[in-house]
Amino acid sequence: MSTIVQTYIEQGNDLFNEEHPDEALSYFANLRSTYPDNAEVWLHSAFTFDRLGRESEAIPLYIHALELGLQDENLRDCLVCLSSSYRVVGQPDVALSHLERARSLFPQDLVVLSFLSLTLHDLQRSSEAVQLLGLALIQESPDQNLASYQRPLRYYFQHIAKQQPSEQ
């Protein structure tokens, strides 16, 4: 991304951070018009709506940012935030599909695994959620006390009985 566009994005984020959310929304709308093919402009526009609790308005912006193409941390952040927005608007199944994509691209990313576990819990798949978080904790924790119990804990977390979604 060009330095000038990055500077413009930072200016829009500064507006929001300085508690000028309406100005930030207008600013990003203008930026989307000026740079309609820039995925990061669309991504940061979506972030602004999302931070204002306007997830339903953020969702199409996230989707468009994905269509334009994102990489690395921006791709991860977009998939996670899009999924989180879908959770908030009551569509955890859609959230799960995006988080599964994020997990395939970023298999050890704790942000992805954390949001995935929340979504699994929403879908009444709490055993899978606990299993996911437990295995991530064992793998990523620097705690030496935990390390001495790594083998039995890994076994127990791997063998948590899978719950079936409850009948409604």
| pLDDT in the model for residue 1 | 59
What confidence tens digit (pLDDT) does each residue in 61-70 have?
A: 999 999 999 9
| pLDDT in the model for residue 3 | 85
Task: Quickly state the pLDDT bin for 167 (edges 50, 70, 90).
Answer: very low
- Outline where the chain has alpha helix (H): 3-17, 21-34, 39-51, 55-68, 72-88, 92-105, 110-122, 126-140, 144-147, 150-158
pTM above 0.75, yes or no: yes
Q: What dotted CATH number matches 1-70?
A: 1.25.40.10
Task: Quickly state the pLDDT bin for 153 (edges 50, 70, 90).
Answer: very high
Domain boundaries, the chain: 1-70, 95-161
Whole-angstrom distance between the N-terminal and C-terminal Cα of the chain? 48
CB distance 7 to 40 below 8 Å: no
